[in-house]
Structure 1
């Protein structure tokens, strides 16, 4: 049975209020009394329950999570990681889907504030726009604000884009297409920036950008069909998609016309390494993000922000990993993975 503040008070022969002052405002308590209470804490093995303290302050036992697209398996895994970590502290996660709409994002932040959640994990619709003060602790997921005023956890998407295209170039592919969008989404822009950086290392390679309206299978299928309708000499010989859903769509779109074979005619790689990536007709190469670990880490950062609101915000950035499967393997060059087990850096 857990030791309570009341148990400590009885053992130290003081009031519950005095124990509370020792824990929160020790300068208001006589030194000898502080020593007696601290001795009781050690003897009894008392562990301070900050979550309960916040609950007494009027907060609920829940955390808000707002993602760009709850139907995307990547965000589903992020949510699972957040739920598992929150559940370990007896808390729950309330999920909101902004659908890449700033107004919906704002509505969810207002709703969560009204429900007095302990804090919000947010994947912003626009990292370039000023973030409105929600009045509650906030942690950014899958992104970081310029200046770093808000705690964040993300993956180095520029490195991920570089990994993907460097792999394609290593296979001897020189006409690379990037399929993704909207380009205003920071993650998409960063992956494209990494792709462009890889091309600067190979002078005879070219990059075509095919912007999509959404990061969905349907948008990828439309892009794949458009590529498949081109003449052989006018289409790319490799495609890097901003996420796996787009890559699945490109694979479907090229297969519909039957003119393009993956990987012989078109090497194809996605991003996120969702579970479905390895179950497609041609298993997809991808850039893996530790989605569940991202969600769990975001909750950890939120707990830190709640416990120490004056502390400098901490930022965690994971490194991506290249996962090679049949959609690029066997298409010439070196098919071996070039990535590493995801690592993280903190600041």
Structure 2
């Protein structure tokens, strides 16, 4: 194997193979219209034969800009965050930019590490779903010259650009839907301490329940399918006279766990317990008992976050630096008046 094949192929290697100067190779890469057909084709053949790949990061560093944006998700396994990522990625691709994506997995240590990588790679900017939009780490990233758009958090402070959802309204929509169905013993399932939007949802549910004068049980659990299964077992073991007849879940994946676990213990959904999720992930409508939920426009949130970031990177001041989307209720078979069946009216 030749030395060229064992190390990174550079401009000099291509120039030597094509019998031209390094300057000519550079012109072929950046301004091919300036190079005659014969020499351009010779360079292109050499590039293909040697497997040359341009060092884009070094080129961008010399030029003083980057075509890469960072994206930090809170929980990449949650389909809601995957939809946000798809929105950011599609908008970035349309703008000719690429993503450097990371997942904190709800770990502050991993979040700090990802933000450090973004700074070290001199990304043009970053879209971040943070644990805390007021964290010192985010402040340091901004102070280091990396523009940041906070996603899935409402942060109206001056100098901060954010995209979020009115989740207090979403929680209220969830509770009011269950109350309108006649339920008077409600539960909120999911740990509000795990995420700011979940705190907001809980506040909306709690306020609506208090105004209606009905009982609200809080069952803390991880924001996962397994967390929902655990909560389902707890609910199933309660005496029927004390068990909540309707459950508002912090996220859809928790509701999926409930829908799996309750029937295993002989609890009918929605005949004995109505279940309502939050997010409207693609799976929600495809379950054996289609899940009622509160929908958030995750894809639109992702595209909006990228467009705001793009404006900030250009040095522009966004007309709406704090975009707040409104959630909507989606009623399906998993919520119904007490005693109804999934196939009933």
Compute the TM-score of the two structures, normalised by the length of structure 2.
0.76
- Provide the residue aligned with 1:31 in structure 2: none
Shift of 1:201: 2.7
Q: Is residue 2:151 matched to residue 1:141?
A: yes
Asked if 1 retains the 8 angstrom alpha-carbon contact of 2:154 and 2:165, the reply is no
Q: Is residue 2:216 matched to residue 1:207?
A: yes
Q: Is residue 2:179 matched to residue 1:169?
A: yes
Shift of 1:145: 2.9
Asked if 2 retains the 8 angstrom alpha-carbon contact of 1:225 and 1:256, the reply is no
CA distance in 2, matches of 1:128, 1:207: 31
5+ long unaligned stretches in structure 2: 1-30, 32-58, 341-345
Q: Residues 161-206 of structure 1, C-alpha deviation per residue, up to 9 Å, x if partnerless?
A: 0000000000010111001125241011000011012113312x11
Q: Is residue 2:315 matched to residue 1:315?
A: no
- Provide the residue aligned with 2:255 in structure 1: 247
- Provide the residue aligned with 1:220 in structure 2: 228
CA distance in 2, matches of 1:226, 1:301: 44
Shift of 1:95: 1.5
5+ long unaligned stretches in structure 1: 1-5, 7-52, 334-347
Choose 1 or 2 for highest CA Rg: 2
* Selected match of 1:305 from 300, 312, 317: 312
Q: Is residue 2:70 matched to residue 1:64?
A: yes
Asked if 1 retains the 8 angstrom alpha-carbon contact of 2:277 and 2:291, the reply is yes
Secondary structure in 2 matching 1:233: coil
Asked if 1 retains the 8 angstrom alpha-carbon contact of 2:167 and 2:200, the reply is yes
Q: Cα distance 1:90–1:55, how it changes in 2: closer, same or farther (>3 A)?
A: farther
CA distance in 1, matches of 2:322, 2:131: 19
Q: Is residue 2:240 matched to residue 1:232?
A: yes
Asked if 2 retains the 8 angstrom alpha-carbon contact of 1:171 and 1:332, the reply is no
- Provide the residue aligned with 2:198 in structure 1: 188
Hey, which bits of structure 1, 4+ residues long, moved more than 6 A? 53-56, 310-313
Shift of 1:101: 1.2
Q: Residues 206-254 of structure 1, C-alpha deviation per residue, up to 9 Å, x if partnerless?
A: 1111111x21000010001110011101210100000000000111121
Compute the TM-score of the two structures, normalised by the length of structure 1.
0.76
Shift of 1:261: 0.7
CA distance in 2, matches of 1:295, 1:191: 20
Asked if 1 retains the 8 angstrom alpha-carbon contact of 2:312 and 2:318, the reply is yes
Asked if 1 retains the 8 angstrom alpha-carbon contact of 2:156 and 2:322, the reply is no
Residue pairs, 1:280-299, within 5 angstroms: 280-299=287-306
Asked if 1 retains the 8 angstrom alpha-carbon contact of 2:183 and 2:338, the reply is no
CA distance in 2, matches of 1:132, 1:64: 16
Shift of 1:86: 0.5
Q: Cα distance 1:148–1:269, how it changes in 2: closer, same or farther (>3 A)?
A: farther
Count, aligned residues: 280
Between stretches 265-274 and 247-256, larger displacement belongs to 247-256
- Provide the residue aligned with 2:170 in structure 1: 160
Asked if 1 retains the 8 angstrom alpha-carbon contact of 2:181 and 2:337, the reply is no
Asked if 2 retains the 8 angstrom alpha-carbon contact of 1:127 and 1:186, the reply is no
Asked if 2 retains the 8 angstrom alpha-carbon contact of 1:180 and 1:241, the reply is yes
Name the structure with the higher helix share: 2
- Provide the residue aligned with 1:178 in structure 2: 188
CA distance in 1, matches of 2:282, 2:172: 22
Q: Cα distance 1:117–1:67, how it changes in 2: closer, same or farther (>3 A)?
A: same
Asked if 1 retains the 8 angstrom alpha-carbon contact of 2:247 and 2:273, the reply is yes
Shift of 1:312: 7.9
- Provide the residue aligned with 1:45 in structure 2: none
